[in-house]
Amino acid sequence: MDVSIIIVNYNTCALIRNCLKSVFEQTKDIDFEVIVSDNGSKDGSVEMIKQEFPQVILIENNANLGFGAANNRGVKIAKGKYILYLNSDTILLNNAVKLFFDYWENSPEKDRIGALGGNLLNEKGGIALSHIKFSRPLNEIFWFIMTILSAYVKYILKLFHINYRRTIMDNIGTYTIGEVECVSGADLFLKNNDLAFFDERFFLYFEETNLEWFMKKKGLLRLIIDGPKIVHLYGKSGEKKWDARLDDFITFGAIQQDLSRIKFIKYNISSFYAWILKVLLAFFWLLPSFYKKTKQYRKEIWKI
pLDDT digits (tens, 9 = 90+) for 281-301: 998 888 887 888 888 899 999
Half-sphere exposure in the Cβ direction for 55 (13 Å, CA): 9
Residue 241 confidence (pLDDT) = 41
Per-residue pLDDT tens digits for 206-222:
999 999 999 999 999 99
Interval 68-119: pLDDT, tens: 999 999 999 999 999 999 999 999 999 999 999 999 999 999 999 999 999 9
Q: Is 179 exposed, middle or buried (0-12, 13-18, 19+ CB in 10 A)?
A: exposed
pLDDT at 146 over 90: no
Mean pLDDT of the chain: 90
Model pTM score: 0.91
Distance in Å from the first CA to the final CA of the chain:
39
Residue 227 falls in which region: left (phi positive, over 0), alpha (psi -120 to 50) or beta: left
What is the topology classification, in CATH, of domain 3-130+173-232? Spore Coat Polysaccharide Biosynthesis Protein SpsA; Chain A (3.90.550)
Residue 24 CB neighbour total at 10 angstroms? 14
What is the pLDDT at residue 252? 86
Considering the chain, tell me which residue range(s) the CATH 3.90.550.10 domain(s) occupy: 3-130+173-232
Look at residues 224, 220, 206, 194 and name the one whose alpha carbon lies nearest to residue 261: 206
